[in-house]
């Protein structure tokens, strides 16, 4: 079902900035989707795209097996903007020449605009505003018939080009990155000046269309949703609840590995602020018994995951006639699984028989078109409070993967106390919302210390704070020394059983954000 009145299709040739192009387009309130270059032309046309953007990519168009595209796309009367590799592919497909450049052009460059119209309409010609970001080792040497240069740079006579009659154009720089100071204007000109978009995709309109789509799909059936306390499942539930009210049943499983007070405040939040029907299951004893003596991180994760599905399934059976399972899948997960399509489809197909029954319910994934920051905006639009919408991510296996070695009641107690201090200090200093995640990890070793006149032999807590955009990569947060010092002092003074705090200064990769 095409529920979007206007849609830009971004064809992905493997550039690291493809997702960034999508975000930039959506910032202009124009809906867009990323599709891999292997998508057939017919499928692309079925979307009735208002415009098409061909992304950059790591290959050279003249390589054997270089990613390509059905050249008929260029005669469909749909506006097309090629970016870097995308521009070179368009030019080569239409009869132009692309070759290895004598001088590779990376980083900042300056643009000399020839036509202040089309992509460059209304752009000031002041020196500073023309800075663009190049990243290519190939150069367009000859344009095909019908094309002309619209801008040049120091090393590229065809830094930007356009067809004189058709709405086909390309740039050899990256308008989507912040270093291209005029990038935003260029994309705006493409979307509004060339594709004639209206820019009517807002969270309000997203709610209206998605609510209608959910109602049409679900009818009078029941939907089940697991609440974790995280923003994705809370927003998923709030959106589906808006569509079908009490036909939605939520289940919250307390696995005994939550932060201090988390379960209580989550349940209070769900009953006070939302009108969700929530079944809460206290399974603390079950999980702690299952985890007794387990040290291996993979086995820990598997036991927690298995236990969760088991309990969830038992509860679902009690409800009877449930037809759908709601999940908070986000757009980056969708793109990743599409990119891996060949391999994963075969695997999951083979696995279907072995999947738990609950996974065989029909899925509803209303957030699968959204990025994380858009999910937060949607949460606000649906009336969820800031506190729920802007909370840091928390892993499904909870504190279980922040305790190195065996999980016991005592060790959970130590970690919880340290974790509260980290949270309190991060919040009161204003750093909680500046970082991606901030938490304590309990290490499986004791070290010597001295308290008063006594020798101690106690536990070590590691402080892990990271900056990230999407959790795929991360760097350790440069917190002020006095904040780190305060956290360390408080943990050592207030948490019995800890005499040392260390700071984790690893990036991801090669480390990961969590320790297990």
Closest C-alpha to 378, from 125, 500, 205, 186 = 205
Alpha carbon distance 171, 167 (integer Å): 14
Beta-bridge partner residues of 8: 32, 51
Nearer of residues 192 and 394 to ligand XMP, judged by Cβ: 394
* Residue window 463-482: x/- pattern of binding to ligand XMP, with contact defined by CB under 6 A: --------x-----------
Active-site residue identified among 4, 136, 174, 241: 174
For the four alpha carbons of 392, 396, 400 and 404, in that order, the dihedral sign comes to: negative
Alpha carbon distance 441, 55 (integer Å): 41
Nearer of residues 24 and 416 to ligand XMP, judged by Cβ: 416
Buried b or exposed e, range 372-409, using 16+ CB within 10 angstroms: bebbbbbbebbebeeebbeebebbebbbbbbbbeebee
Q: Minimum distance from CB of 395 to ligand XMP (Å)?
A: 3
- The set of residues, in sequence order, having a beta carbon less than 8 Å from that of 272 and lying 6+ positions away, is none
Q: Decide if residue 513 touches ligand XMP (CB under 6 A).
A: yes
Nearer of residues 367 and 513 to ligand XMP, judged by Cβ: 513
Alpha carbon distance 484, 269 (integer Å): 31
Among 55, 135, 254, 437, binds ligand XMP (CB under 6 A): 437
Closest C-alpha to 443, from 394, 352, 336, 515 = 515
Nearer of residues 256 and 395 to ligand XMP, judged by Cβ: 395
Nearer of residues 14 and 396 to ligand XMP, judged by Cβ: 396
- The set of residues, in sequence order, having a beta carbon less than 8 Å from that of 275 and lying 6+ positions away, is 241, 245
Q: For residue 35, indicate whether it is catalytic.
A: no
Q: For residue 84, indicate whether it is catalytic.
A: yes
Give the position of tokens 């415009």.
51
Q: Tell me the window of 261-269, 272-280, 395-403, 493-501 that interacts with ligand XMP (CB under 6 A).
A: 395-403
Question: DSSP E strands: which ranges in 265-347?
Answer: 277-282, 322-326
Structure tokens at 360: 């065989």
Alpha carbon distance 431, 470 (integer Å): 18
Nearer of residues 68 and 392 to ligand XMP, judged by Cβ: 392
Q: Decide if residue 166 touches ligand XMP (CB under 6 A).
A: no
Q: Tell me the window of 89-97, 130-138, 373-381, 508-516 that interacts with ligand XMP (CB under 6 A).
A: 508-516
Alpha carbon distance 393, 235 (integer Å): 14
Active-site residue identified among 84, 197, 225, 465: 84
* Residue window 396-415: x/- pattern of binding to ligand XMP, with contact defined by CB under 6 A: xx------------------
Q: Decide if residue 508 touches ligand XMP (CB under 6 A).
A: yes
Q: Minimum distance from CB of 505 to ligand XMP (Å)?
A: 15
Q: Tell me the window of 282-290, 341-349, 389-397, 450-458 that interacts with ligand XMP (CB under 6 A).
A: 389-397
Alpha carbon distance 34, 21 (integer Å): 9
Q: Tell me the window of 18-26, 67-75, 356-364, 390-398 that interacts with ligand XMP (CB under 6 A).
A: 390-398
Pair 118, 162: CB distance under 8 Å:
yes
Among 58, 383, 393, 480, binds ligand XMP (CB under 6 A): 393
Q: Minimum distance from CB of 397 to ligand XMP (Å)?
A: 5
Nearer of residues 379 and 397 to ligand XMP, judged by Cβ: 397
Alpha carbon distance 496, 454 (integer Å): 14
Pair 350, 343: CB distance under 8 Å:
no
Q: Minimum distance from CB of 384 to ligand XMP (Å)?
A: 19
Q: Minimum distance from CB of 447 to ligand XMP (Å)?
A: 25
Nearer of residues 351 and 473 to ligand XMP, judged by Cβ: 473
Give the position of tokens 């004639």.
196
Q: Decide if residue 183 touches ligand XMP (CB under 6 A).
A: no
Omega prior to 510 cis, within 30 of 0: yes
Q: Minimum distance from CB of 514 to ligand XMP (Å)?
A: 3
Euclidean distance between the first and the last CA atom of the chain, given in angstroms as a whole number? 41
Q: Decide if residue 493 touches ligand XMP (CB under 6 A).
A: no
Q: Decide if residue 57 touches ligand XMP (CB under 6 A).
A: no
Question: DSSP E strands: which ranges in 365-453?
Answer: 437-451
Backbone φ and ψ of 111, nearest 5°: -110, 140
Active-site residue identified among 105, 176, 369, 374: 176
**What is the full DSSP assignment across 332-369?**
HHHHHHHHTHHHHHHHHHHHGGGS-GGGGSEEE-TTTT
Structure tokens at 36: 């891999």
* Number of residues near ligand XMP (by CB under 6 A): 10
Structure tokens at 223: 């939907």
Among 395, 417, 421, 459, binds ligand XMP (CB under 6 A): 395
Q: Minimum distance from CB of 334 to ligand XMP (Å)?
A: 16
Q: Minimum distance from CB of 515 to ligand XMP (Å)?
A: 8
Q: For residue 176, indicate whether it is catalytic.
A: yes
Q: Decide if residue 514 touches ligand XMP (CB under 6 A).
A: yes
Alpha carbon distance 278, 226 (integer Å): 9
Nearer of residues 365 and 514 to ligand XMP, judged by Cβ: 514
- Report the greatest alpha carbon distance in the chain: 87
* Residue window 346-385: x/- pattern of binding to ligand XMP, with contact defined by CB under 6 A: ----------------------------------------
Q: Decide if residue 512 touches ligand XMP (CB under 6 A).
A: yes
For the four alpha carbons of 46, 49, 52 and 55, in that order, the dihedral sign comes to: negative
Q: Minimum distance from CB of 453 to ligand XMP (Å)?
A: 41
Nearer of residues 61 and 231 to ligand XMP, judged by Cβ: 231
In the complex, the residues that contact ligand XMP under the rule CB under 6 A are: 393, 395-397, 437, 471, 508, 512-514
Which residues are known to be catalytic? 84, 174, 176
């Amino acid at each position: 079902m095409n529920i979007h009145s206007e849609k830009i299709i971004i064809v992905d040739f493997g550039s690291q900035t493809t997702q960034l192009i999508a975000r930039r387009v959506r910032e202009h309130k124009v809906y867009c989707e990323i599709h891999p270059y292997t998508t057939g032309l017919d499928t692309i046309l079925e979307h009735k795209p208002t415009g098409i953007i061909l992304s950059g990519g790591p290959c050279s168009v003249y390589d054997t097996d270089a990613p390509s595209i059905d050249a008929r796309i260029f005669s469909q009367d749909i506006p097309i903007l090629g970016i870097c590799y995308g521009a070179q592919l368009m030019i080569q497909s239409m009869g132009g020449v692309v070759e290895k450049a004598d001088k590779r052009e990376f980083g900042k460059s300056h643009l000399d605009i020839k036509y202040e119209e089309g992509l460059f309409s209304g752009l000031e010609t002041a020196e500073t505003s023309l800075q663009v970001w190049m990243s290519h080792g190939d150069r367009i040497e000859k344009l095909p018939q019908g094309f002309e240069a619209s801008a040049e740079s120091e090393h590229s006579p065809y830094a930007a080009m356009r067809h004189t009659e058709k709405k086909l154009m390309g740039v050899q720089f990256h308008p989507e990155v912040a270093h291209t100071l005029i990038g935003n204007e260029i994309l705006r000109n493409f979307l509004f000046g060339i594709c004639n978009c209206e820019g009517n995709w807002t969270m309000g309109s997203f709610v209206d269309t998605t609510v209608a789509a959910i109602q049409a799909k679900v009818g009078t059936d029941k939907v089940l949703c697991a609440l974790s306390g995280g923003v994705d499942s809370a927003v998923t539930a709030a959106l589906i609840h808006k569509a079908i009210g009490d036909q939605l049943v939520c289940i919250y499983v307390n696995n005994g590995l939550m932060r201090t007070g988390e379960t209580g405040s989550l349940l209070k939040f769900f009953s006070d602020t939302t009108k969700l029907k929530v079944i809460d299951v206290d399974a603390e004893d079950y999980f702690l018994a299952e985890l007794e003596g387990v040290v291996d991180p993979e086995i820990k994760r598997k036991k927690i995951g298995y236990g969760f599905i088991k309990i969830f399934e038992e509860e679902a059976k009690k409800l009877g006639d449930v037809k759908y399972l709601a999940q908070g899948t986000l757009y980056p997960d969708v793109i990743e699984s599409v990119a891996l399509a060949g391999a994963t489809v075969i695997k999951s197909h083979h696995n279907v028989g072995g999947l738990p029954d609950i996974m065989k319910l029909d899925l509803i994934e209303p957030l699968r078109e959204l990025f994380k920051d858009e999910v937060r905006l949607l949460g606000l639009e649906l009336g969820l409070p800031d506190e729920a919408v802007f909370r840091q991510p928390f892993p499904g296996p909870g504190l279980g993967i922040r305790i190195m070695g065996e999980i016991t009641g005592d060790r959970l107690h130590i970690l919880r106390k340290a974790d509260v201090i980290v949270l309190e200090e991060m919040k009161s200093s204003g750093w909680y919302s500046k970082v991606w995640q901030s938490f304590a990890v309990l290490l499986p070793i004791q070290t010597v210390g001295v308290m008063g006149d006594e020798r101690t032999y106690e536990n070590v807590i590691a402080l892990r704070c990271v900056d990230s955009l999407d959790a795929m990569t991360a760097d350790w947060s440069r917190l002020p020394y006095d904040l780190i010092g305060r956290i360390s002092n408080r943990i050592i003074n207030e948490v019995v059983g800890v005499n040392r705090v260390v700071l984790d200064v690893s990036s991801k990769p090669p480390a990961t954000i969590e320790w297990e």
